Amino acid sequence: MTLYVDPAVKQRRRRVTYEPERPKLRDPLWAKLCLIFGALIMVGSGLAVVVPKVLANWATAEIPKDDLIPDELVGANIDGAINLLLLGMDERSTNKTEPIRADTMIAVHIPKAHDRIYMISFPRDMQVPIPDYPPTGFVGYRERINAAFAFGARTPDGKPDASPAGRRQGAALTMQTINGLVPGGIKFNGAAIINFEGFQKVLEAIGGVRLCVDVETRSIHYDKSGKYHRYEVPYDQRKVYPVGCRNFTAKQALDYSRQRHFPTGDYVRQQHQQQLLMAIFKKLTSKGVLTDLGKVRELQKVAGDLLTLDLGKTDIIDWIFTLKGLGAEDIVMIKTNGGKLANIQGTSYQRFTEETRELLKAVHDDTVFEFLTRHPDWISNLK
């Protein structure tokens, strides 16, 4: 059967109150891997056609499953447009009193023709209204979007809750927050919580990735000898990633992707995060990985350390067959707000602009292609 491709390819919110800006917390390392295109690629492509059910169950046997999506926001099926939410976090901190923030948030939209993968990163400092969340006693107010996970992942007395239940609540409040930003709201067909340590293991399993550095990048935590420091390294002693294309080890790739000390701050980091994600996807789909049973087995073993999945109402085998035709060349990386700073005067907050609202409305309407024809400068060309 030939799939037709389109050529043109609420929750209640009470009055939001304002509270003083909370102290800025430690900037976690970026950690994420694409939900379907990383976890399921091991059973995708030609392999999925041969013995799909057996391979699907084998490849994902170690991956924890959980109900991350609130019932009212679960998408019906994946026959039409598909929306996924990826939440990346660093759980290496030994400070048990520190709020658990998801500092990487990527919305993945696949149009109804299933011929593109649109990746939209949310700036961590974008100020938005976060709704009430009765399970933790949180009373909604405006704050950075990356705080939504923290306000959900805590106990009623305000202490961080890193348990599965706490993570589930953090993901739920994050999705409710995003849903409230979009006219008509957004349903989610899948979601994933990804942690740093598991992500590094995946990069190590595939032998690192090749990246092209677009702007000289200096690490704030690694010195010129490659040694890690918990404190910020002096500028002239920082490890430098010069402009140009080269192979990156797992640690180098993660370090490069976390840096945000640029004139446009977090927007450059967004692009580098998306760039790394695409590089991983390319490596995972390469013959060198898919045909190496040792690598596939290693990836299967570390998958449980990497992510927690919620595939909504759809069976894993249906995900595989629906998305098996998509490749790295089909990924379109989008720069929120066109990659331009939109600071709120006198603060470090970023504004949630009307154009960004239009982009999210396009996700709801499945008209992202049309949005990008009007805003071509929002497309990232990093490879």
- Name the 3-class secondary structure at 19: coil
Q: What is the pLDDT of residue 290?
A: 62
Q: What average pLDDT score do residues 304-310 get?
A: 77
| pLDDT above 80 (res 323) | no
Q: What is the pLDDT of residue 58?
A: 59
| pLDDT above 80 (res 264) | no
Rounded CA gap, 93 and 197, in Å?
Answer: 11
Would you list the domain boundaries of the chain? 35-197+303-378
The residue ranking higher by pLDDT, 275 or 171, is: 171
Question: What predicted TM-score, i.e. pTM, was given to this entire model?
Answer: 0.78
Per-residue burial over 28-37, b if 16 or more Cβ lie within 10 Å, else e, is: bbbbbbbbbb
Q: What is the pLDDT of residue 274?
A: 75
> pLDDT confidence of 212, banded at 50, 70, 90?
very high
| pLDDT above 50 (res 362) | yes
The residue ranking higher by pLDDT, 308 or 138, is: 138
Rounded CA gap, 335 and 382, in Å?
Answer: 11
- 3.40.50.2300, 3.90.180.10, 3.40.640.10, 3.30.420.590: which CATH number matches 35-197+303-378? 3.30.420.590
Least Cα distance to 182 among 23, 52, 322, 368 occurs for 368
Q: What is the pLDDT of residue 52?
A: 47
Q: What average pLDDT score do residues 223-230 get?
A: 90
Residue partners of 318: CB distance under 8 A and separation at least 6: 78
Rounded CA gap, 245 and 212, in Å?
Answer: 4
Least Cα distance to 70 among 123, 22, 11 occurs for 11
Give CA 183 to chain center in angstroms: 22
If one counts every other C-beta atom within 10 angstroms of the C-beta of residue 332, the result is 17
Q: Cite the DSSP H helix spans in the chain.
A: 35-39, 45-50, 52-59, 147-152, 164-181, 196-205, 250-258, 266-284, 287-290, 293-306, 316-323, 354-365, 368-374
Question: Across-strand partners of 211?
Answer: 246
How does pLDDT run across 129-150, given as a tens digit for each residue?
Answer: 999 999 999 999 999 998 999 9
Rounded CA gap, 61 and 4, in Å?
Answer: 34
Rounded CA gap, 300 and 250, in Å?
Answer: 18
Rounded CA gap, 124 and 350, in Å?
Answer: 9
Structure tokens at 94: 């030994």
Least Cα distance to 118 among 83, 77, 73, 80 occurs for 83
Structure tokens at 39: 């976890």
Q: What is the pLDDT of residue 84?
A: 92
Q: What is the pLDDT of residue 80?
A: 93
Q: Please report where in the chains the tokens 């990826």 appear, as a residue.
A: 86
| pLDDT above 60 (res 167) | yes
Q: What is the pLDDT of residue 57?
A: 62
Q: 9-23, 85-99, 161-175, 310-324: which range is least confident on average?
A: 9-23
| pLDDT above 70 (res 258) | yes
> pLDDT confidence of 320, banded at 50, 70, 90?
confident
Q: What average pLDDT score do residues 42-47 get?
A: 36
Q: What is the pLDDT of residue 344?
A: 75
Q: What is the pLDDT of residue 24?
A: 35
Contact between residue 29 and residue 257 where contact means Cβ atoms under 8 Å apart: no
Question: What phi, psi does 37 have (nearest 5°)?
Answer: -75, -10
Q: Which helix (H) or strand (E) segment is 219 a member of?
A: strand 217-223
